[in-house]
Amino acid sequence: MSQAVSPIHLASPAGAPTAFAVTIEAGPSRVFQIAAAGAPVRRYVLARAEQPDYLDLFEQLARDVGTRLPHARQPPPAEGTAPALTPLLTAPVSPRILYGYGDPCVVQVGEGDWRLLVTSNDAPDAFPILASRDLRTWSLTGFVFPEGRTPAWTLTGPNRADFWAPELHRVGSEWWVCFTARSHDRSLAVGLARASSPDGPFTPDDAPLVTGDVIDSHILVDEAGAPWLVWKKDDNGVWPRALADLLARRPEWTAALFTEPQDLRTASLALTLWPWTAHREPMEQFFLLQPLIEAATADFQGFEARLEQLQARATGAEAMDLSVILRALKTRIYAQALSPDGRRLLGEPVVILQNDQPWEAHLIEGVWITRQNGRYHLLYAGNDFSTSHYGIGTAVADRPTGPYRKASEVFLSSTQAWWGPGHPSVAMGPDGRHHIFLHAFRPGEAGYKAFRALLAAPLSFEAGVVRLDPAMAVLSAT
């Protein structure tokens, strides 16, 4: 017989702008009893510990106690730019594909022959491989790592595993798949697997290529035929935890960092919950900290400036803590040369891109680089993937390592039809034109593990600029 678990009682430390008292009951459901200063105790029941459940909680708390309303429960900030996007896959082609077509890699593997690889999160079968002869009709040919055949270094199991963003590339005589997975220590790492066929079977390397909370790997083969590995340092997952921990120890600093009443209350609740949040699995931590992230990024430049002012006055370990947070506010994309066999990195990594545009807010990710007309065109995603603020940007350089010059405006953003367009790949279509392939959510359904559709649009590359082809798209929905 299992023993009953005692409820957890939390209270805001002295100095928090809003005093909260929270009781958390463990069991088949998450049960929160939350009281804000001057307000009655309210009870909230979460059927699961998934993102939609936490969004329900924070949406209700916004109404009850005046915390920030989640972005995912608001419409897009404005009508975005997405002309001629064609839906290609809007429903699962197999019950073994649990979450749709997030982070899509579309690659041409032969004459009139394409493959699609997508994120699988914690599904038993990792990284679906789909085949098409026309980009209209797709069939499941297998998985990079079928159940029971995941790399030994990866964490598996529901709500523990995270198999993200696979990419398939022909390098020499082999087909390589680079991918993100969670290691046994819960950190994210980039691995590589290889096969003689684009349909596998794939044999993973014994250890990851890059470790230390890195994601969204991309393989670029340069004009000399040399492979490069590109990846993102996932520091946007670092600073929210560090901020919540710091504010739990120095709650009086909350008022120095946040100016709006809703954000002061949001931060006060986050620091109150932190002693419990700190022990959740990484993705549940993100769900719990997302309101704090959105409070900080609502005025991202102002928040960063206030952090700098606070850091200038702080001393000792707390000054170091603030320096860590400030550095992590910048998401860096790295490139590094690979050995010809792809088994080791050469030289030193080079930062080729980081977030510095208002629409990107606190992060960029999901890079794809294509060489066109002698120049390297880089497409990437920015902002929070689980909201309608996510979008796609472009940049161009003369060398794989840059410097890259970004376009001044977002390339694709949310519309009334599709939310959160992101994580692009580029391939030649059957019409002889290049196409961008990307994922997007149905309106109001953005979030981790929510279904993502596969969309496409024709592209042109002219004078160092990426444009959506104004001609009518020829690809049609399945």
Residue 478: predicted pLDDT: 41
Establish if 33 belongs to a structural domain.
yes
Chain segment 85-94, per-residue pLDDT in tens:
899 999 999 9
User: CA-CA distances (angstroms) from residue 402 to 136, 219, 352?
Assistant: 35, 15, 6
Mean pLDDT over 307-312 rounds to 97
Q: How many domains does the chain fold into?
A: 2
- In the predicted structure, residue 83 carries a pLDDT above the cut 90: no
Residue 144: predicted pLDDT: 98
Residue 433: predicted pLDDT: 93
- In the predicted structure, residue 330 carries a pLDDT above the cut 90: yes
Q: How far apart are CA 60 and CA 65, in angstroms?
A: 9
Task: Give the residue from 328, 359, 381 where a domain finishes.
Answer: 328
- For residues 343 and 449, state if they share a domain: yes
Chain segment 421-447, per-residue pLDDT in tens:
999 999 999 999 999 999 999 999 999
- In the predicted structure, residue 277 carries a pLDDT above the cut 90: yes
Chain segment 105-125, per-residue pLDDT in tens:
999 999 999 999 999 999 999
Establish if 99 belongs to a structural domain.
yes
Chain segment 225-266, per-residue pLDDT in tens:
999 999 999 999 999 999 999 999 999 999 999 999 999 999
Residue-wise burial string across 256-272, b where 16 or more C-beta atoms lie within 10 A, e elsewhere? ebbeeebbbbbbbbbbb
- For residues 347 and 209, state if they share a domain: yes
Task: Give the residue from 294, 328, 362 where a domain finishes.
Answer: 328
Residue 4: predicted pLDDT: 57
User: Per-residue confidence at 476, pLDDT binned at 50, 70, 90?
Assistant: very low
- For residues 243 and 308, state if they share a domain: yes
- In the predicted structure, residue 82 carries a pLDDT above the cut 60: no
Residues marked as catalytic = 103, 365
- For residues 411 and 353, state if they share a domain: yes
Residue 34: predicted pLDDT: 98
Question: What is the residue-averaged pLDDT of the chain?
Answer: 94
- For residues 245 and 390, state if they share a domain: no
Establish if 318 belongs to a structural domain.
yes
Domain that holds residue 323: 8-75+237-328
- For residues 200 and 267, state if they share a domain: no
Task: Give the residue from 297, 313, 328 where a domain finishes.
Answer: 328
User: Per-residue confidence at 470, pLDDT binned at 50, 70, 90?
Assistant: low
- For residues 221 and 129, state if they share a domain: yes
Q: How far apart are CA 276 and CA 201, in angstroms?
A: 42
* Higher-confidence position of 145 and 80: 145
Of 343-357, 389-403, 464-478, the range with the lowest mean pLDDT is 464-478
- In the predicted structure, residue 133 carries a pLDDT above the cut 50: yes
| Chain CA centroid to CA 55, Å | 17
Residue 1: predicted pLDDT: 40
- In the predicted structure, residue 81 carries a pLDDT above the cut 70: no
Provide, rounded to the nearest whole percent, the portion of the chain with pLDDT above 90.
91
